[in-house]
Amino acid sequence: MENKGDGDFKPPAITEFDGMVLPPFPPLLEDAKKRFEEMRNLECRKDDVILATYPKSGTHWVWEIVCMLLKSKAEYSKETKEFLFLEAIPDISLVDNIPSPRPLNTHVPYRWLPKQHIENGGKIIHVLRNPKDVAVSLYHHLANANELGEDPDFKTFCEYIMDKESGKVMGGWFAYEKEFKQAEANDTCSAIFTVQYESLKKNPIQEIKRLAKYLDVDVKDEVVAVIADKCSFKKLKEANATLKDHSNVSKLHPKVEAEQIALKLYRKGEIGDWKNHFTVAMNEQFDAMFNEEMKDSKIQVLYE
């Protein structure tokens, strides 16, 4: 059981908008409605790609793979995904200067994605990760960003996210994923491509080939193999530490050094770390919450 501290716990700072709980990124703190409307009304290009994920689902990983595929080259981007992070960049018009095809990314729910992109039948890549590993990853992310007080323990964090009143943070996962599933089921939204974190981890080459096909890019098997290797956890973590410009990350986490949070984001990159965090009782409680929340949904998550 991997608990961090002795139970001191402070709920994280959040922004609430349209029934969602969001991280307190500066543009959202300033005027969340304005930024959401700017996003929904964003002028899109036919070849834009939107990576849409619930936080901690493997966004950075899939973003890097998508960037390599769009270039048909196994070359790391100098930027981190934060430079095209729609709800967090200081000014949304910054994306106007980015050459096509633009790998945009966001954590906002389906209903707030750029309208024009959906009307264009634009490409949307959605990453689904099992919610127990998302919860563990979120806990470490918030703890590393000094957002949960000193020495927060996972048990208290878990009680917080499972509480019906205060647990909006994780409650957002259920709503987010149900909304995506519904959008996928809708014929007019057939442009959504879902990749499961666990499948990508277990079969990277097969999943990267599926992604390449979806993106209509012609990449040789040898290039796919190098992309899979360069984006494996260890190598991507190393590239992130040595090659990336983290200045865009620093603006999002005012309480810690940019480098610190950017480096810690590549934490374990495994399937099933939840087993090192959840007690049997916590796990049963989580399963009961999952079954209740997802009783009308066909989403199948992979816990191992």
In the complex with ligand A3P, which residue's Cβ is closer, 53 or 77? 53
DSSP 102: P
The answer to the question of residue 24 lying near ligand A3P (CB under 6 A) is: no
Shortest distance, CB of residue 268 to ligand A3P, whole angstroms?
A: 4
The answer to the question of residue 233 lying near ligand A3P (CB under 6 A) is: yes
Q: What CA–CA distance (Å, rounded) separates 75 from 232?
A: 13
DSSP 255: T
Shortest distance, CB of residue 269 to ligand A3P, whole angstroms?
A: 3
The answer to the question of residue 105 lying near ligand A3P (CB under 6 A) is: no
Which stretch, 18-26, 153-161, 174-182, 268-276, contacts ligand A3P (CB under 6 A)?
268-276
The answer to the question of residue 130 lying near ligand A3P (CB under 6 A) is: no
Look up 141 and say whether it is catalytic.
Answer: no
Q: Are strands 49-53 and 123-128 parallel, antiparallel or unpaired?
A: parallel
Query: Which two structure tokens, joined as six digits, stand for 232?
Result: 């494996």
In the complex with ligand A3P, which residue's Cβ is closer, 123 or 201? 201
Are the beta carbons of 190 and 155 closer than 8 angstroms?
Answer: no
Residue of 55, 149, 167, 272 that binds ligand A3P (CB under 6 A): 55
The answer to the question of residue 56 lying near ligand A3P (CB under 6 A) is: yes
Task: Give Cα 148 to chain centroid, integer Å.
Answer: 20
Q: What CA–CA distance (Å, rounded) separates 105 from 53?
A: 8
Helix crossing, 204-214 with 221-230: angle to 10°? 120
Which stretch, 22-30, 34-42, 180-188, 261-269, contacts ligand A3P (CB under 6 A)?
261-269
Shortest distance, CB of residue 13 to ligand A3P, whole angstroms?
A: 17
Q: What CA–CA distance (Å, rounded) separates 218 from 203?
A: 20
In the complex with ligand A3P, which residue's Cβ is closer, 53 or 196? 53
The answer to the question of residue 267 lying near ligand A3P (CB under 6 A) is: yes
Instruction: Report CA Rg, the chain.
Output: 19
Residue of 79, 229, 245, 273 that binds ligand A3P (CB under 6 A): 273
Query: What does each C-alpha distance from 268 to 18, 223, 257, 274, 301 come to in angstroms?
Result: 33, 25, 20, 11, 19
The answer to the question of residue 170 lying near ligand A3P (CB under 6 A) is: no
The answer to the question of residue 269 lying near ligand A3P (CB under 6 A) is: yes
User: Closest by alpha carbon to 246, among 274, 225, 266, 270?
Assistant: 266
Place of tokens 């490409």: 123
Contact residues toward ligand A3P (CB under 6 A) are 53, 55-61, 133, 137, 140, 201, 231-233, 236, 265-269, 273
Q: Which residues are catalytic?
A: 107
